[in-house]
Chain A
Amino acid sequence: MANISITPGSIARPADAIPKRPNPVWLFIRTQPLGFAGLIVILAYLAAAVGAQWIAPYDPEAIDFTAMLTPPNSEHLLGTDQFGRDVFSRIVYGARTALAVGILSSLFGCTLGAIIGAASGYWGGRIDTMIQRVVDVMLSFPIIVLAMVVVAVLGKRPLLGVDMNLVAAIALPFIPKMTRIARSSTLSIAQMPYIDAARAAGYGDGRIIMRHILPNIVAPYLIMTTAFIAQAILLEASLSFLGLGVTEPTPAWGLMLSGASADFYKSAPWMILFPGLAITLAVFAFNMFGDSLRDWLDPKMRS
């Protein structure tokens, strides 16, 4: 019998046997290039929102009658509006309004929707039926109509420069949508053995929902939150355009497209062109990132 000597390094090491896990960020960049591009744009907008006072060359609300309707030039990169206000500065500051309202309303709507959906799916029965009929009613309203009604009824309630009633109005249409998604995920999770085990261990319903169900619907929650940010930005712009959102002179993209701006579409097209592009790019970026996040987080899609 031959002697077998074992020396260090002579047996296969686990590292050689199991392929090295690629860096998740790199994996995301490689597999979701559009999503990554969207992320870069989102980060750029976030940077603009946070550092607006350093990036914007002018006070976005300051009137300069000597520069009324100036076309884009070296002093005013994207031109000026009818009050001589710098369009670039207003777009940079407008990112604050768009992202603040977009992120807050999406987070608020999705979080509330997820909790209601999880409760609806977990308890089932009459509670589920009741919640789902309310959701049916809410879903029957077009998003913009529902938001308009809420804004008109609630008026304005500014907090740290953000109108919280506007946030609530935009969040409201997201709640039933997220409720449906969270409910369907909960229905399958609720059948899992670990839920039965939790029940057997004597855990209360609240603890089971909060500790065992909600953490398992994080993936759809994240995906929907990201996707709804794009919708929220668009909705905020639409409401401002209709005169129901942010009011002048606060810089906001939708507001920059509304009112008298439309009168100047021939003589000063930059007044509506650049805010329009800012909205389009932001919505596109969030949509791309949201779609990619869905593909990346979903194991079936990944395979």
Chain B
Amino acid sequence: MNSSMKFALAVGLVFGVASPAAHAQAPKKGGVLNFAVVAEPPTYDCHATTTFATLHPVRPHYSGLLKFKGDVNSKIELVGDLAESFEQSKDGLTYTFKLRRNVKFHDGTPFTAADIKATYERIVNPQAGILSARKALHENITAIETPDDFTAVFKLNVPNASMLNNFASPFNCVYSAKKLMEDQRYPEKAPMGTGPFVYVDYVKGATWEAKRFDQYFEAGRPYLDGYKAFFVKANSVVPGMQGGQFDAEFRGRTPKERDQLVDAMKDNVTVQEGPWTTSVLLTFNTKRKPFDDVRVRQALTMAVDRRAGAVPLSKISMLKFVGGLTRPGSEWALPDDELNKLPGYGTDIAKSREEAKKLLAAAGVTNLKIKLVNRNIAEPYTPAGIFVVSEWKKIGVEAEHLQLENKSYFDAQASGEFDATVEFISDFVDDPSLQFVKFISAKKSPVNVSGSEDAELDKLFDAQAATIDPVERRKLTQAFEKRAITQSYSMMLYWWQRIVVLNKKVKGWELHASHFTGQDLAGVWLDQ
């Protein structure tokens, strides 16, 4: 096998990279971590779910092939989880993983390459009745070979630049081949993997309990005796933390909630803040007039002064960072000097709005009234809607802001009953193939809400997805981003800030840019 890139991931070295807090103090063993989860898990099956509500309570029962490690404010890197090392062939068509030995499932059975094969076959080719939410991301996998018990080889039909990230997806929990053979649905019934914690009990609408797995493959870990997740309403988190019921909520809180907790608990809390791989955008219905006219869409994005709103909005909502279609600050982000040339990102807002009015006039649009469909979730959708309505008014555009409950909201999008709609993108990693999929042609992308068809974007998307060389890929992603922003089928509004408040006794937890990753809790300990 030709291997141009070889990452020998010495496990000991990898786990030597710990958070600053962990460096400062030796981890203590014992204690139960209580944390809040602000939604109920719709399923326990990692492969089927798309929500943190499953991952936060369930992920600590499992391991993956790879995982993300580090802190978003320093460096996040791809490291081995069940894989000790891996090789990627030069042509990008073969990935070979050397697996850990002496890893056991919670039922005592040994982990082997067969478990990897069974897991990924369930993701790539799920049996009838099994839901694989990310099947499309793995469709290039054509074969999984297991030459020995501790080697797994993935063969692809075309190179896929996102494949390594997919192997580190927190949703790709490795299941037991033996259990899957008995029952493909076992993960939906009682979670059982090789992760640091063993499932104990789940009371619907109340709690999820787990205890430490003494035979976890990482020596000395986990530090906690167990954890208990509490399923609560979002507005219960602050009083729950103040009252000592919860030590943390890991998805993220609002700036106001952070201030309330810091105000009330003073030095008894620590706050971790950083950028979030989650954004709010507005999408136009290109099937409706006048939004089929690029001039109208450009005018509407040019009316919004994102920069002026960023700082004040970040004080009252999760909205904070101005950026394009890739997260600002990430390796894929369009440089500011390039971004500033695109519609909606100009530095002179007065000039931009004058131009917007001219564009509307040129398109023959007067007294434009927009039906803006939004979710009736306060944070951060309401501030986003209020902000845009106010900004559009400045070029004489009126908007009727409809905040609908979830079903009506998604129905309105599916049936095209909107002029513009507030949407969000939330992914587990900064990867253009994940972030761009909403913007390729509706015929190719089921998540394209605008109804747009753009062959040039499709071509650029396919090209970047198949380009392994990051430098070449970046050129293609930047070309995609420029084209998508210029066409303005959707207009990016803001990228979110992630604010996690922890009881000061919680140590060893790392802030990632995604709330989906970094949740196996293996390195978390309580200073008590």
Give chain A's interface residues, CB within 8 Å of chain B: 59, 61-63, 65, 68, 82-84, 152, 155-156, 158, 243, 247-250, 259-260, 263-264
Contact = CB atoms under 8 A, between A and B. Distances in A.
Closest 6 CB pairs of A and B: A65-B312, A263-B256, A63-B390, A247-B403, A82-B316, A249-B386
Contact of A249 (B308, B376, B401): B401
A61 B391 CA distance: 10
Contacts of B401: 247-250
B389 A249 contact: yes
Interface stretch (B275-283, B377-385, B449-457, B479-487): B377-385
Contact of B403 (A59, A158, A243): A243
A62 B408 contact: no
A151 B315 CA distance: 33
A61 B390 contact: yes
A160 to B, nearest CB: 12
B256 A264 contact: yes
Nearest to B308: A65
21 contacts: A61-B393, A65-B312, A68-B316, A82-B316, A83-B386, A83-B390, A84-B312, A155-B404, A156-B402, A243-B376, A243-B403, A247-B374, A247-B376, A247-B401, A248-B382, A248-B385, A249-B385, A249-B390, A260-B316, A263-B254, A263-B257
A259 B382 contact: yes
Most buried by B among A62, A156, A243, A249: A249
Contacts of B154: none
B331 interface: no
Contact of A61 (B309, B315, B379, B389): B389
Contacts of A82: 316
B452 to A, nearest CB: 27
Interface string B134-148: 000000000000000
Given A152-B405, A158-B400, A247-B403, A260 B312 contact: no
Given A83-B390, A249-B401, A264-B256, 20 more contacts: A59-B393, A61-B386, A61-B393, A62-B393, A63-B386, A68-B316, A82-B316, A83-B383, A83-B387, A152-B405, A155-B404, A247-B403, A248-B382, A249-B385, A249-B389, A259-B378, A260-B383, A263-B254, A263-B256, A263-B257
B260 interface: yes
Determine chain B's interface SS by DSSP, over half rule: helix
A243 B391 CA distance: 23
Nearest to B387: A63
B10 to A, nearest CB: 47
A303 B393 CA distance: 58
A248 B260 contact: no
Interface residues of B, number: 29
A65 B317 CA distance: 13
A259 B234 CA distance: 12
Nearest to B408: A155
B386 A62 contact: no
A248 B382 CA distance: 7
Contacts of B254: 263
A248 B403 contact: yes
A264 B378 CA distance: 15
A63 B393 CA distance: 10
A247 B309 CA distance: 21
Nearest to A156: B402
Contacts of A243: 376, 378, 403
Interface string B99-126: 0000000000000000000000000000
A81 B389 CA distance: 16
A63 B401 CA distance: 15
A88 B393 CA distance: 20
Given A156-B402, A243-B376, A259-B378, A62 B260 contact: no
Nearest to B381: A248
A263 B253 CA distance: 13
Given A243-B376, A249-B401, A260 B386 contact: no
A59 B398 CA distance: 13
Most buried by B among A61, A62, A156, A263: A263
A65 B319 CA distance: 14
B406 to A, nearest CB: 12
Contacts of B389: 61, 249
A152 B406 CA distance: 11
A118 B302 CA distance: 59
A213 B391 CA distance: 55
Given A63-B387, A260-B256, A263-B260, A247 B402 contact: yes
Contacts of B385: 248-249
Interface string B163-178: 0000000000000000
Contacts of A83: 316, 383, 386-387, 390
B404 to A, nearest CB: 7
B386 A68 contact: no
A148 B315 CA distance: 33
Given A247-B401, A249-B390, A68 B315 contact: yes
